[in-house]
Structure 1
């Protein structure tokens, strides 16, 4: 009868009294070791189709999503992500990159505390028609890809110039349709806010 490995990890080791069977010997070791190593799959759907009854502690790398996942006993959680290149946000008319010399407005998807999150950087130059911000405040000319769209509206605070503005912060809505919209410019009870540049360094929103 096979005995368990010395570390108690459920790897069956054939005993000398067992009937010789090279295939059984190989499978007992290979199958046990594989599920205790970092398994590799093309995608989350491929992982789920193969591991229909995962157990706590299993790890799987997903090549399409570029994620390292871990089964915590109830669901798969992300514990690491691959490299994600910065990508310029496609801008609508009335907005240009490199506001206040902060570089182009860019985004990338990162892993933050096990959750896919969009990170922003850079700044925009902004034009106005009277007191109205261009394009109703929607800075994106085309939607961000589905991988960078939140499941529901995400509202975050963003900085802006205090020149020509009674405010030094505005509001950014990351919309589920993939567009980014700025709020807080124009004329209000407290005065007029027409900042010539709006920044995004250090801004995150969860997906």
Structure 2
């Protein structure tokens, strides 16, 4: 009868008294090791297809998804927990807006959550829309969006029509992934030597299903 490893990990190996069947014995040994290694899959869909039925995922498994470039660990509640920050992904800009500095984008954070970064300006380097309306400037995938509206105070550099410098703006993230900003009426004027801009640095939230 096979014995288990000395580290109490449940990996079985054959003993001299076992019937000689090298295929079965090696398969038992390999199948005992593989779930305890970092398993690599082309993407999340490939992982779901491979880890099902008799090979379904169990708590403690660690996987690396090549296409998504992320490490994940299986939790006791049967969910995958992100173990490393995901790669930065670009925003989908609305017409009239683009990047200023800081490579605007979003990424998933280790342990859960989404983070934004970067500075945004008008494509013509002109004033921000300061009509007191909420202005859509970009979006992120719905899969990364929060379950409900999130509102943030963010950095900015702009002036009022009377020349007073402003350093904060408001950015909203909706459950559809839409990103919008707001500045007070007459408060979106470009500063001398550069365009008016607002930033996303410091914005973090939980996506729907990860609250």
- Could you state the TM-score of these two structures normalised by the residue count of structure 1? 0.76
Whether 1:24 aligns to 2:24 is yes
Would the aligned equivalents of 2:159 and 2:166 in 1 still touch at CA under 8 Å?
no
- Output aligned runs, 1:55-66, within 5 Å: 55-66=58-69
Q: What is aligned with 2:187?
A: 193
1:152 aligns with 148
Q: Which moved more, 1:8-17 or 1:171-180?
A: 171-180
Does the CA-based 8 Å contact 2:10-2:32 persist in structure 1? yes
**Structure 1 segment 7-22 matched on structure 2, within 5 A:** 7-22=7-22
Provide Cα deviations, 1:107-149, integer angstroms capped at 9, x if missing partner: 13132x41141321124255267x516x842223xx4344554
2:136 to 115, 135, 138: 138
How high is the TM-score relative to the length of structure 2? 0.74
The answer for the alignment partner of 1:203 in structure 2 is 202
Aligned partner of 1:109 among 107, 110, 113: 107
Secondary structure in structure 2 of the residue aligned to 1:138: strand
Structure 1 residues 42 and 152: alpha-carbon distance in aligned structure 2, compared to 1, 3 A threshold: farther
Q: Which runs of 5+ in 1 are unaligned?
A: 187-191
**Structure 2 Cα separation of the partners of residues 185 and 90 of structure 1:** 22
Q: What's the counterpart of residue 90 of structure 1?
A: 93
Tell me, yes or no, if structure 1 residue 72 matches structure 2 residue 75: yes
Q: How large is the Cα RMSD of the aligned pairs?
A: 2.9
Unaligned residue ranges in structure 2 (runs of 5+): 191-195
**Preserved contact between residue 172 and residue 179 of structure 2 (Cα < 8 Å):** yes
Alignment partner, residue 182 of structure 1:
181
Between the aligned partners of 2:189 and 2:27, the Cα distance in structure 1 is 67
